[in-house]
Amino acid sequence: MKKIVILGAGVMGSAFSIPLSDRGYDVRLVGTHLDVDIIEEIHQNRVHPKLHSRIPDNVTPYTVSGLEEALMGVDLLVLGVNSLGVNWAAEILSPILPLNVPVLMLTKGLMGDRKKISILPDVLRNGLPADYRDQVQISAVGGPCIAGELASRRHTCVVFTGQDQTLLDQLCDLMRNPYYHVWTSTDLVGVETCVALKNVYALAVGLVHGWLEKEGTADNGAVMHNLAAAIFAQGLWETAYLVDYMGGQLQSVYTLPSSGDLYVTSQGGRNSKMGRFLGMGMNYQEAKTRYMPDETIEGAELVLDIGPTMEVLFERGELDWARLPLLRAMASIVSGQEPAELPWDDFFKGNFQN
């Protein structure tokens, strides 16, 4: 029987345990230091308090103190921490991760160090001991996947990405079932860039909900789908530019990792909810403190993290700010420098002329 550890008992890590459990594997769900209440709840009644879904009996919950025990004899480690927890995960795994155990990352994001922008698999790798870095095999999952739908066994289509096609094929064979459909891509940089950026552009689409709430539905029932669609399209246009800059492949932009993932993320969730608050006129810190104090807003964290690095890349002439008006605007909105307004006339530069 395959033994699989999932580190991170949030909604996505826990939802990912369900297709694995349906394949009959021995799944070990290890909560981080932030997941103590979740693990306790699963121990008591097998129900995840945020997913509101039953965790199957062949998924064994562990607190983080039991991580080393959970890793004994394991065949795969799935990393389900949030984007702010990747360096923590590298630190805690460094003394105990067996070299022959591949890592599959659910975590999405990018990081900047004022020199360059890095994808999270590289951040994880660089956080491990030097003698591990060239040996550990790190792959990732991208594509449209709402945790609640996966936990309810709704049909879900994703991409597994990494540099080793043989390993990707093995992971697909491990995971595929009648409702969890997997394709592979060796475009690790492109896929990871897409799945990170979709969070900030979903945050931008979410602004429309706040604007609509302020203005109200028109007398004829009209809402603001036109506006949301234009922001969605600009997000894809900017993603394509940044994927090309990072060295990825444009096919990742127009398939599941970007267009698919941006669509589903724009339908709801944390980024969309925060976008609504910003569109209503609240500043980010106010909305976060009042309404979402315990939630990680990945889109906001992304622009706050990579913004200073992008400024450096712009000053070096490596990035063209004219190609990223929506990303720039969202960085200003989230940082509190500007109100929730968008530079419409700067959209689609290098594509259409208005």
Q: Number of H helices and number of E strands within the chain?
A: 15, 10
* Whether 175 and 219 share a structural domain: no
pLDDT score, position 336: 86
The rounded distance, in Å, linking the Cα atoms of 46 and 59 is 9
Confidence band for 352, pLDDT divided at 50, 70 and 90? low
SS3 of 111, please? strand
pLDDT score, position 266: 95
The rounded distance, in Å, linking the Cα atoms of 221 and 255 is 33
* Whether 146 and 249 share a structural domain: no
* Whether 135 and 261 share a structural domain: no
* Whether 61 and 134 share a structural domain: yes
Strand partners, 78: 6, 104
Q: In one letter, which amino acid is 164?
A: D
Residue 351 located in a structural domain: no
Tokens of 327: 């990303």
Q: What is the DSSP letter of 136?
A: -
Burial of 295 (0-12, 13-18, 19+ CB in 10 A): middle
Contact 185, 252 (CB under 8 A): yes
Residue 354 located in a structural domain: no
* Whether 110 and 213 share a structural domain: no
Token look-up 């879904």 returns: 53
Q: Is residue 251 over pLDDT 90? A: yes
Burial of 14 (0-12, 13-18, 19+ CB in 10 A): buried
Residue 229 located in a structural domain: yes
Structural domain boundaries enclosing 229: 189-346
Contact 208, 277 (CB under 8 A): no
Token look-up 């025990």 returns: 69
Mean predicted confidence (pLDDT) in 238-267: 96
> Could you write out the DSSP letters of every residue in 298-354?
HHHHHHHHHHHHHHHHHHTTSS-GGG-HHHHHHHHHHHTSS-S---GGGTTTTT---
The rounded distance, in Å, linking the Cα atoms of 72 and 134 is 22
Residue 109 located in a structural domain: yes
CATH code for the domain of 17: 3.40.50.720
The rounded distance, in Å, linking the Cα atoms of 252 and 259 is 9
| 65: Cα within 13 Å, side-chain hemisphere | 2
Total count of domains within the chain: 2
pLDDT tens digit sequence for 174-220: 999 999 999 999 999 999 999 999 999 999 999 999 999 999 999 99
How many Cβ atoms are within 10 Å of 113's Cβ, its own excluded?
Answer: 13
* Whether 239 and 116 share a structural domain: no
Confidence band for 354, pLDDT divided at 50, 70 and 90? very low
Residues in the chain: 354
Token look-up 């990081």 returns: 111
**Short-list 40, 252, 61, 218, CA closest to 140:** 252
pLDDT score, position 351: 62
pTM for this predicted structure:
0.94
pLDDT tens digit sequence for 68-84: 999 999 999 999 999 98
Contact 284, 278 (CB under 8 A): yes
pLDDT tens digit sequence for 289-330: 999 998 889 999 999 999 999 999 999 999 999 999 999 999
* Whether 140 and 210 share a structural domain: no
SS3 of 139, please? strand
CATH code for the domain of 231: 1.10.1040.10
* Whether 164 and 304 share a structural domain: no
State the chain's mean pLDDT as an integer.
95
